Structure 1
Amino acid sequence: MPVLPYLAIVQARMGSSRLPGKVMADLCSKPIVWHVIERLRLSERVGGIVVAIPTGARDDVLSAYLHEIGAEVFRGSETDVLSRFCQASRAHPSHAIVRVTADNPLFDPKVLDETVKYFEKGGYRYARTEGFPLGVGAEVFTASLLEEANGRAITPYEREHVTPYMYTSQESRGAYNCGKNRSRIRFTVDTEEDLLFMRKIYGHFFRGVHNFFLDDILAYLGEEI
């Protein structure tokens, strides 16, 4: 099996406590997870995409849909998401992983590519975006660091949230900063209110293709670029 330079692992599940099934919620006649995958496909640096979902029965509908659209799927533990990521990485070997969550339909592939460039230039083992609206950015880390984290992270928080060990336990890390703190802006779907807001954004921009990015959305919202 060829080793990819960058593998995107999309974290998805049906069991969200605040908005169950949100990754399959309708957004311009497509599920949110479809939009996330399609926006990821626009990245110039990602060589492969796999959606990592739990093994439980309630995620069977998600698995069936992903297979229907031809997406790569890996199924693992619902609560130990770190092990799910590590096993997905082993099944799809790469030098480094991009972590994206399936409730972020305004994920920006341009921001991802800039973060990857920053990651490479700094020679980091881990890098993430900083100051961007919540739901726009991504995390990038080496496959070796993911293996290390899986072997050493012990708390439930570290296991559930995948990367806390990576950004707290070692020095080879960096943060790609947007230059202006917009972290107060929510571009993620966690509540019904978030979903209605996302439908407003998509209703304005989406015409079958993903040709709108962070600057376009901020301009529409009246935010200074």
Structure 2
Amino acid sequence: MGKNIVIVVQARMASSRLPGKVMLPILSKTLLARMIERLEMIYTPATVVIATSQHPNDNVIAREADMLDVPYYRGDLNNLLDRHYQLAKAYQADVVLKIPSDCPLIDPAVIDEVLGFFLDSPEKYDYVSNLHPATWPDGNDVEIITMDCLERTWKQATRPLELEHTTPYIWENPSQFKIGNVEWATGLDYSMSHRFTIDYHEDYLFIKRVFEELYEDKPDFSCEDILNLLERKPEIYELNAKYAGVNWYRNHLDELITVGEGQTNLLFKNEVE
């Protein structure tokens, strides 16, 4: 019997650096709509659900979900772990695939590759990602969690960073969970040099330009297609190059065991997340 795989897209309007980023326009649709479109290109059968908050500011996301005919769940604004767990229970998930809404350039083939790795040995892992260590360009983030693993994490995690970021308790406690990681088959590591995610206005300009360049000829453009574009037009790479490697790790290095300084951009340390 197949497993019920639920892809959880966490989205909210609140953002200290770029408020309302998920509703910014990309080729006449919202960034969130483009994100969902790419998730629906994967081959593995799965249900996509938007996980937003109960805050009134996020009513617009609920309306967008209705317009896209995508189910949604509204939960705690800041406790993302609880939001994921309650959504997974509501949709009777066997497996939860966590995708942040700031990854509108995510390659569907990368998702299928990580899912394939997990599903090829369904009893071998509690958690599989392509992030520990990360190798693909930032913005191809895939995390797969069994329901049992998510429930144990929900019961045991207590630190603010564990509640806000959903999965740190898992990969910070490798003795408690069976953990797997999928590295980029190229042997390259672009996780700190190439930024396909969105937190800043410059990121939006980058993502918008990539869609404008590639979407019309190939709506399901790949990570390789983006990299080839950047080689042809390096000025696009430069749009947000100064933020390469910026991630939430930078302000929590003293709390994390399995993440070091080489996995984040310290130039932006102490910036409000």
Give the TM-score normalised by structure 1. Answer: 0.94
Could you report, residue by residue, the CA deviation over 1:158-209 in whole angstroms, capped at 9, with x for unpaired residues? Answer: 0000000111113410110002101021000100000001111111011296
The percentage of counterpart residues that share the same residue type is 32
Match of 1:156 among 155, 160, 164: 160
Q: How far apart in 2 are the matches of 1:208 and 1:9?
A: 29
Within 5 Å, give how 1:189-200 maps onto structure 2: 189-200=198-209
Q: How far apart in 2 are the matches of 1:90 and 1:139?
A: 18
Pairing 1:180–2:179 present: no
Structure-2 residue corresponding to 1:218: 227
Structure-1 residue corresponding to 2:135: 131
Within 5 Å, give how 1:103-122 maps onto structure 2: 103-122=102-121
> Alignment partner of 1:34: what SS?
helix
Q: How far apart in 1 are the matches of 2:178 and 2:71?
A: 30
- State which structure, 1 or 2, has the greater radius of gyration over its C-alpha atoms: 2
Structure-2 residue corresponding to 1:33: 32
Match of 2:212 among 203, 207, 213: 203
Q: Which letter maps to 1:140?
A: I
CA RMSD across the alignment: 1.7
> Alignment partner of 2:172: what SS?
helix
Q: How far apart in 2 are the matches of 1:124 and 1:94?
A: 16
Give the TM-score normalised by structure 2. Answer: 0.78
Q: How far apart in 2 are the matches of 1:208 and 1:87?
A: 40
Report the CA distance between 1:89 and its aligned residue.
0.2
Report the CA distance between 1:4 and its aligned residue.
4.7
Structure in which a larger fraction of residues adopt strand: 1
- Number of matched pairs: 222
> Alignment partner of 1:211: what SS?
coil
Q: Name stretches of at least 5 consecutive residues in structure 2 with no aligned partner.
A: 233-273
Structure 1 87/64 Cα, relative in aligned 2: closer, same or farther at 3 Å?
same
Structure 1 3/83 Cα, relative in aligned 2: closer, same or farther at 3 Å?
farther
Within 5 Å, give how 1:54-65 maps onto structure 2: 54-65=53-64
Structure 1 74/209 Cα, relative in aligned 2: closer, same or farther at 3 Å?
farther
